[in-house]
Structure 1
Amino acid sequence: MGKMLPVVLVFLGSGAGVGAGIFLRPDPVPDAVEAVQNSEDAATTVAQRDPSPDEETPPEGYEYVKMNNQFVVPVVQDEKVAALVVMSLSIEAQAGQSDAIYLREPKLRDVFLQVLFDHANIGGFEGAFTNAGTLDILRGALREAAQKTMGQGLVNDVLITEIARQDY
């Protein structure tokens, strides 16, 4: 009888587990046809909606030109690199001028890096560096540098599309 007790306990435990699984199982999934119809309705709804403010289109006569590579800016404290800031930039330029911007991209990258280094040196990437006021100052400096390099009428604005800081 002593050898039968572990076997009985295994069966009781397994039965309790199966019973709990059946009792607690989620509601059944709707059949595949209904799921496909729901996804088609959702796709139609998304396609028909108006663009949100985040999906803003460029002003009339302008296009966005994404800079090919990210910008990496070291943040130096006590003569040591304390952090790296990685950014992606886009330029809002007159429509049809993307080729002109890509031809001058090395010069633009140089000018942008100088502005970013200056911003880092004055403490622009310290603390809450993503607040609106700080980023507006940085955007203004980048826009001014781009307009000096490419011409006032060609570049309308510089957009910061991604920004991240990695502390060490």
Structure 2
Amino acid sequence: MKAIFLPIILVVLGLAVGVGGGISLRPTAERSDAEVAEAVEAPILTEFLKLNNQFVVPVVEHGRVTSMVIMSLSLEVTIGTTESIYAREPKLRDAMLQVMFDHANAGGFNGVFTEGANLVFLRKALLEVSQKIIGNDVRDVLISDISRQDS
């Protein structure tokens, strides 16, 4: 009889210790202040603003234009800011063109110019210059069209 009770007592005792340990080591539902603030913060509502004209960027090799890159861009902006951004569009286009010229001069439009890493680098540079001109109302730069014509 004692031989049967000992294994049952050990199983019950092991089960009780396991359940107790699981309960005491369970992660708490407490959140840090940053997590609470992030959860409470309202999402920023955005809209898309298509820049009026395409960008035409010459690709120069050995002092000669070898191709032309044509791009259409849109901006993801905070709602209600489109009019103020359109008012500054000439300055924004000038800064964006300079970024595109620099990208072309660095060889960014040579070879497989639509490669993911290439476009990520270009988008990031365009976003930085857009935020420098417009401010944080510009959330992202989208390349909606890109093509290259070789001559």
Give CA-to-partner distance per residue, 1:15-42, whole Å, 9 cap, x none.
xxxxxxxxxxxxxxxxxxxxxxxxxxxx
> Under a length normalisation based on structure 2, what TM-score does the superposition of the two structures give?
0.71
Once superposed, what is the RMSD of the aligned Cα atoms? Answer: 1.0
The runs of at least 4 aligned residues of structure 1 exceeding 4 Å deviation read: none
2:21 match: none
1:167 match: 150
2:44 touches 2:78 (CA, 8 Å); kept in 1?
no
Mapping for residues 1-168 of structure 1, pairs under 5 Å: 61-151=45-135, 153-168=136-151
- One-letter amino acid of the counterpart of residue 97, structure 1: T
Give CA-to-partner distance per residue, 1:113-163, whole Å, 9 cap, x none.
000000000000001110110000000000000000001x21101110000
1:96 deviates by 1.0
Q: C-alpha separation between the residues in 2 aligned to 1:150 and 1:110?
A: 13
1:60 deviates by 5.0
Q: Tell me, which stretches of 5 or more residues in structure 2 are unaligned?
A: 1-42
Percent sequence identity is 56
Count of residue correspondences = 109
1:134 is paired with a residue whose SS is helix
Q: C-alpha separation between the residues in 2 aligned to 1:140 and 1:155?
A: 12
- One-letter amino acid of the counterpart of residue 154, structure 1: D
Q: C-alpha separation between the residues in 1 aligned to 2:113 and 2:97?
A: 17
2:73 is paired with a residue whose SS is strand
- One-letter amino acid of the counterpart of residue 141, structure 1: A
> Under a length normalisation based on structure 1, what TM-score does the superposition of the two structures give?
0.64
- One-letter amino acid of the counterpart of residue 133, structure 1: A
- One-letter amino acid of the counterpart of residue 140, structure 1: K
